[in-house]
Homo-oligomer: A and B are copies of this chain.
Amino acid sequence: MTPKGYRFAAVEAAIKKPGRKDLGLIFSDSPAAAAAVFTTNKVKAAPVLLSAERISKGTAQALVVNSGNANACTGVQGMSDARETTLLLAEYLGIDAELIQVSSTGVIGVPMPMERLKSALPRLAAECGKASLDDLALAIMTTDTFPKTAVRTGTIKGVNYTIAGIAKGAGMIMPNMATMLSFVLTDAALDANWIKRCLSSAVDRSFNIITVDGDTSTNDTCLLMANGAAGTDLICEDTPEAIQFADMLDQVLLELAKQIVKDGEGATKFVEIRITGAVSDADARRAAMAVSNSCLVKTAFFGQDANWGRIFAAVGYSGAELDPDALSLWFDDICMASGGIFAGGDAEALGTLVLRNKEFTVTVDLGVGKGQATVYTSDISHEYVSINADYRT
Interface string of A63-79 (1 = CB under 8 A from B): 00000001011110110
A313–B75 touching, CB < 8 Å: no
Contact of A73 among B107, B108, B215, B341 (CB under 8 A): B341
A contact patch SS: loop
Which of A111, A388, A390, A393 counts the most chain B CB atoms within 10 A? A388
Interface string of A367-393 (1 = CB under 8 A from B): 000000000000011101110111111
Q: Give every chain B residue within 8 A of A382 (Cβ-Cβ).
A: 382, 385-386
Q: Give every chain B residue within 8 A of A388 (Cβ-Cβ).
A: 295-296, 299-300, 303
Contact of A215 among B43, B171, B296, B380 (CB under 8 A): B296
Contact of A313 among B43, B321, B389 (CB under 8 A): B43
Whether A389 contacts B305 in the complex (CB less than 8 A), given A73-B312, A317-B40, A341-B75, comes out as yes
A73–B295 touching, CB < 8 Å: no
In the complex, whether A114 has a CB less than 8 A from a CB of chain B is no
Chain B residue nearest to A393 (CB atoms) is B305
B303–A389 touching, CB < 8 Å: yes
B393–A385 touching, CB < 8 Å: no
CB proximity to B under 8 Å, residues A292-318: 293-296, 299-300, 302-303, 305, 307-310, 312-317
- Shortest A340–chain B CB gap in Å is 5
The number of times this chain is found in the oligomer is 2
Contact of A109 among B314, B337, B386 (CB under 8 A): B337
Whether A299 contacts B75 in the complex (CB less than 8 A), given A43-B327, A70-B309, comes out as no
B215–A340 touching, CB < 8 Å: no
In the complex, whether A146 has a CB less than 8 A from a CB of chain B is no
A295–B380 touching, CB < 8 Å: yes
In the complex, whether A53 has a CB less than 8 A from a CB of chain B is no
A324–B42 touching, CB < 8 Å: yes
A77–B341 touching, CB < 8 Å: yes
A302–B107 touching, CB < 8 Å: no
Q: 20 more A-B contacts (CB under 8 A) besides A214-B295, A215-B294, A380-B385?
A: A43-B324, A72-B309, A73-B309, A74-B342, A107-B307, A109-B309, A109-B312, A172-B296, A172-B313, A213-B296, A215-B313, A217-B313, A218-B309, A299-B384, A299-B385, A300-B388, A303-B393, A305-B391, A305-B392, A382-B385
- Pairs across A and B, CB under 8 Å, 18 listed: A42-B322, A43-B327, A73-B337, A77-B341, A108-B310, A110-B309, A172-B296, A174-B317, A176-B317, A214-B295, A215-B294, A215-B313, A217-B313, A218-B309, A218-B312, A299-B389, A300-B389, A305-B391
Interchain residue pairs A-B with the least CB separation, the first 6: A108-B309, A303-B389, A43-B316, A299-B388, A109-B309, A216-B317
